[in-house]
Amino acid sequence: MNLNRRKTIALGAGGVAALLGTAALAQTAAAPAAAPAAPAAPATPAASAAAAKTTDQWIAEFTGGAEVTDGGVALTAPEIAENGNTVPVSVAAEGASEVLMLAPGNPTAGVMIAKFGPAAGKREIATRIRLATTQDVVAIAKMEDGSFKRATANVKVTIGGCGG
Amino acid sequence: MITKREFLQAALATSALWGLSGHGNWGRLAAQQALSQDKLLEFEDFGNVTLIHVTDIHAQLKPVWFREPEVNIGVGDARGRPPHVTGQDFLTMFGIPPGTPDAYALTHEDFVALARAYGRMGGMDRVATVVKAIRAARPDSILLDGGDTWHGSMTSLRTRGQDMVNVMNALGVEAMTSHWEWTFGQDRVKEIVDTLPFPFLGANIFDAEWDEPAFEPYKVFEKGGVRIGVVGQAFPYMPIANPRWMFPDYSFGIREERMQAVVDELRETEKVDLVVCLSHNGFDVDYRMAGQVRGIDVILTGHTHDAVPEPVLVGETILIASGSNGKFVSRVDLDVRDGKMLGFRHKLIPVFSDVIAPDPEMAALVDAERAPFKAELEEVVGTTESLLYRRGNFNGTWDDLICDAIRSERDVQIALSPGVRWGPSLLPGDPIRREDIHNACSMTYGQVYRTEMTGETIKTVMEDVADNLFNADPYYQQGGDMVRVGGLSYAIDVAAPMGQRISALTLDGGEAVDPARSYTVGGWASVNEGTEGPQIWDVIEAHVRKLGSVRLEPRTTVTVTGA
């Protein structure tokens, strides 16, 4: 079996006094599965004040009413969520300066706006989101040339249980 | 409907590949009315690589009756395409005369009469004879196990899979992938994997916390001067279809991009001549994956328990579906030269237990594994006057018996029973032994819950399961059959969108189910942690003992449209 991070940490923890530091690092690193070359800290617009904002309002605000074209954004999400409470998603868009992600089927549609600084080596962000129900997750990228690109991914949230 | 010949020609026309199958031999055998071990194993060696595939054995050490489905509806592009062809249509498509051994092995037609003529199928001692014979002819062959191996019997449950591990090690498996193995819990899986003399492959098994590969994705074999990369693909919907809490550290999924990356690595870095995917995706998922991922030569498909007598071509990839429960062993000979698969010859070998001699060493091992439990296994609980079977998209008679047992023993109005595809059949007149009951329901989460659900919730559950089966996009199909119901009849339009398939929910006695009313419901195989109740096999045994003799004609509680 290949040595992976979980095993490396377990091995590291096996013999060394640096155990606490390693373990703590593991804990903090665990929550968001950060993409390589993580961009500037993502904003979290889904705060209570913004709760009433609809999907259309989010998009209108983000784009200023500009046209949004499909393509040019890679939105990666599982076809069926293993756990609707923590669904791994990632967005990559070469040449993007900002990314808006929406979960229109959630009580509050806004998930995040991520801003990439000019030094960001890779215009990609990965995180985990909560999905209330089966829905099309939407990602819109604002490109450095001012245009907007969109991708959607259908994620099914199922009660499961009868696989044979 | 297209015939087999048109189907194959259409597939071959688009491909530089050419191939043959052993199926023609079966037809001739049948005409001669002469089944013999030599003829079942007859195979003109071809090319320079041989793959041997077994899958979905479900811990069936001994020969079984196993009735193939009468109803196996394909939706979207899969409509009318193998394996979604059954009965007479199947016989016509593959040119199999009715009443022949292969008609018995591959379809439900005239099952009881043919079963009496041709006998039980499978048995790991017979499978061992087949494997040894192929290896004698082709010493460089590779034996691959598609998973669902450690689960499905009373002995596998009691030994937590160890009986099957011992048997498969003795058989000489060279790599496997997984599904129900995980229902013994991740600690037990890791404990066993550490002892296996072969890799437990799963390119799509990731560490849930770190989101990185957790098991070996592939193994490269050097056989007869050919480099063969075998990629493992575990069941993608493990944490959805089975209890997530039993393997919390792992994430699965189809992960098509990961599969492409692994195949590319095999071709570009490992410089293999042939890429084989040992898959537990299920047939329709593999069919789609074969068209999406470039560079896979052979997919050995499993999970959906389909036995297809010919390879199915998708572009230049061949799909091999080897059935379940030890009924079949696939032999695939390949001509591989200069990094290309140039041709194939294939035979789905039916394991007729009365024709193929048991391998003495394996027979002794199987008996040794069963010995500690023998008296318990073989205790007769009752008899059946009717054919008991499960396989099919909707309730079989085994499921009706289980639902009756739950309703009676747990005093509920409605029973729900999972639409799993495992569980052998019993013929009219057969004794029902304790192990027969276990074969239909053995599992590590068999508690029978008793609860109340509103009519609306019941419909939601049924809609959810129906979409897992009849979603037109195979990547959303989990590979089980429809949830079985007792005390309830309903109509289903398989072509409708999710939420609109199920209608006319009616209680026994003709009263319509009220969405707002609560009903008592019993069921088993809940994926929720902490489910309480008696084990399902004990519930069934109590019910059968009270009946003494089981009589169950197929019921007409499900009305299907849109197929």
* Cα gap A96→A94, rounded to integer Å: 6
Q: What is the mean pLDDT of chain B?
A: 93
Minimal Cα distance from A35: which residue of B?
B211
Strands (E) located in B177-287: 206-207, 212-213, 218-223, 226-233, 250-251, 274-279
Q: Residue B19: what pLDDT?
A: 57
Provide the pairing of β-strand B218-223 with B274-279.
unpaired
Handedness of CA B379, B384, B387, B391 (dihedral sign): negative
Ordered DSSP codes for B300-312? EE-SS--B-SS-E
What is the C-alpha to C-alpha distance for residues B347 and B375, in angstroms, rounded to an integer?
38
* Confidence band, pLDDT 50/70/90 cuts, at residue A34: very low
Chain A 61-80, residues with CB within 8 Å of chain B CB atoms:
76, 78-80
First to last CA, chain A: 28
The rounded distance, in Å, linking the Cα atoms of B284 and B288 is 6
CB contact (8 A) between residue A5 and residue B212: yes
Chain A residues within an 8 Å CB radius of B473: 79
| Tens-place pLDDT, residues B497-513 | 999 999 999 999 999 99
- Residue in chain A nearest B498 by alpha carbon: A134
What is the value of pTM for the model shown? 0.88
| Per-residue pLDDT at A6 | 61
Report the chain B residue with the minimal C-alpha distance to residue A126.
B211
Residues of B in contact with A92 (CB under 8 A): none
pLDDT of residue A160: 64
Measured between CA atoms, how close is B253 to chain A, in angstroms? 7
For chain B, list residues with pLDDT below 50.
1-17, 22-32
Contact criterion met (CB below 8 Å) for B256 and B236: no
Residue among A33, A78, A159 minimizing CB distance to B253: A78
Count the neighbouring beta carbons within 10 Å of the beta carbon of residue B352: 23
Domain range list for chain A:
1-34, 45-157
Strands A68-70 and A148-155: parallel
How many contacts, defined by CB atoms under 8 Å, are there between A and B? 102
Are A163 and B483 in contact (CB < 8 Å)?
no
Q: Model confidence over A115-128: pLDDT tens digits? A: 999 899 899 999 99
- Write the DSSP symbol of residue B510: S
pLDDT of residue A159: 75
Residue A36 touches chain B, beta carbons under 8 Å: no
d(C-alpha B542, C-alpha B303), whole Å: 31
What pLDDT, on the 0 to 100 scale, is given for residue A22?
Answer: 29
Residue A160 and residue B240: Cβ atoms within 8 Å?
yes
Q: Is residue A146 less than 8 Å (CB to CB) from chain B? A: no
- Does B460 reach chain A within 8 Å, measured CB to CB? yes
Please report the pLDDT score of residue B35 as a whole number: 86
Q: Show residues of chain A in contact with B210, CB under 8 Å.
A: 4-6, 30, 33
C-alpha distances in Å from residue A106, one per residue of A60, A68, A129, B167: 18, 22, 11, 49
A82 vs B252: CB contact, 8 Å cut-off? yes
CB of A89 within 8 A of CB of A76? yes
Decide: residue A21, CB within 10 A, 0-12 exposed, 13-18 middle, 19+ buried: exposed
Query: Which listed CATH number (3.40.1390.40, 1.20.140.10, 2.60.40.2470, 3.30.300.30) goes with A45-157?
Result: 2.60.40.2470
Interface test with B, best of A128, A155, A162 (most B CBs within 10 A): A162
SS (H, E, C) B103-134: HHHHCCCCHHHHHHHHCCECCHHHHHHHHHHH
The string of DSSP letters for chain A reads: ----HHHHHHHHHHH-TTHHHHHHHHHHHHSS-PPSS--SPPB---SGGGTT--HHHHHHHHHTT--EEE-S-EEE--SB-S-TTSEEEEEE-TTEEEEEEE-TTSSS-EEEEEE--TT-SS-EEEEEE--SSSEEEEEEEEETTS-EEEEEEEEB--------
| B329–chain A nearest CA distance, Å | 21
How close A32 comes to chain B (CA, Å)? 9
Question: Searching chain B, which residue's CA lies closest to the CA of residue A3?
Answer: B214
Residues 416-445, chain B, touching A (beta carbon < 8 A) = 418-422
First to last CA, chain B: 13
Cβ proximity of B334 and B51 under 8 Å: yes
Residue of B178, B186, B219, B240 best to disrupt the A interface, most CBs of A under 10 A: B240
DSSP string, B271-339: --SEEEEEE-S-HHHHHHHHHHSTT--EEEE-SS--B-SS-EEETTEEEEEB-STTSEEEEEEEEEETT
- Strand A124-129 and strand A87-92: the pairing is antiparallel
d(CA B164, CA B426): 23
Interface check for B187 against chain A (CB to CB < 8 A): the answer is no
State whether B239 and A83 contact (CB < 8 Å): yes
- CA A23, CA A29: separation in Å to the nearest integer? 10
Q: How far apart are CA B444 and CA B184, in angstroms?
A: 7
Inter-axis angle of helices B360-370 and B162-171, to 10 degrees?
170
| pLDDT at residue A112, as a whole number | 95
Distance (Å) from the alpha carbon of B178 to chain A's nearest alpha carbon: 13
Q: How far apart are CA B7 and CA B2, in angstroms?
A: 6
For the sheet containing B488-493, what is the strand order?
B502-507, B488-493, B558-561
HSE-up of B318 (CA within 13 Å, CB side)?
Answer: 28
Q: Which helix (H) or strand (E) holds B417?
A: strand B414-417
* Separation between Cα atoms, residue B284 and residue B475, nearest integer Å: 8
CA-CA distance, A41 to A38, in Å (whole number)? 8
Quick one: DSSP state of residue B97?
P
Chain A touched by B461 (CB under 8 Å): yes
Facing residue for B240 by CB, picked from A76, A82, A126: A82
Task: Tell me the per-residue pLDDT of B350-369, one tens digit each, with 9 for 90 and over.
Answer: 999 999 999 999 999 999 99
The pLDDT value given to residue A163: 47
Determine contact, residues B175/B202, Cβ cutoff 8 Å.
no
The answer to whether A141 and A70 are in contact (CB under 8 A) is: no
Average model confidence (pLDDT) across chain A: 76
User: How far is residue B536 CA from its own chain's centroid?
Assistant: 21
Contact: B483, A162; criterion CB under 8 Å: yes
Under 8 Å between Cβ of B298 and B320: yes
Any B CB within 8 A of A133 CB: no
Q: Which residue has the tokens 């799963």?
A: B202
Q: What pLDDT shows up at residue A28?
A: 29
- Would the CA dihedral through B163, B164, B165, B170 be positive or negative? positive
Ordered strands of the B226-233 beta sheet: B218-223, B226-233, B274-279, B298-301, B317-321, B312-314
Q: Across the interface, do A158 and B467 touch by the CB < 8 Å criterion?
A: yes
Residue B214's CB is within 10 A of a number of other CB atoms, namely 23
**Quick one: closest CA in B to A155, which residue?**
B476
Answer whether the bond into residue B83 is a cis peptide, omega within 30°.
yes
Candidates B284, B468, B481, B531: best to mutate against A (most CBs of A within 10 A) is B468
- Cα separation, A42 vs A125, in Å, equals 9
Residues B137, B142, B146, B149, CA torsion sign: positive
CA neighbor of B299 nearest in space, from B283, B307, B310: B283
Q: Dump pLDDT digits (tens) for B515-546.
A: 999 999 999 999 999 999 999 999 999 999 99
Q: How many CB atoms lie within 10 A of CB B27?
A: 15
Work out the minimum CA distance from B339 to partner chain A, whole angstroms. Answer: 27
| Residue of chain B with shortest Cα separation from A9 | B210
Confidence of residue A14 (pLDDT cuts 50, 70, 90): very low
- Classify strands A96-102 and A135-143 as parallel, antiparallel or unpaired: antiparallel
Q: Which residues contact B494 (CB under 8 A, 6 or more apart)?
A: B73, B75, B466, B470, B501, B560, B561, B562, B563
Q: CB–CB of B476 and A156 under 8 A?
A: yes
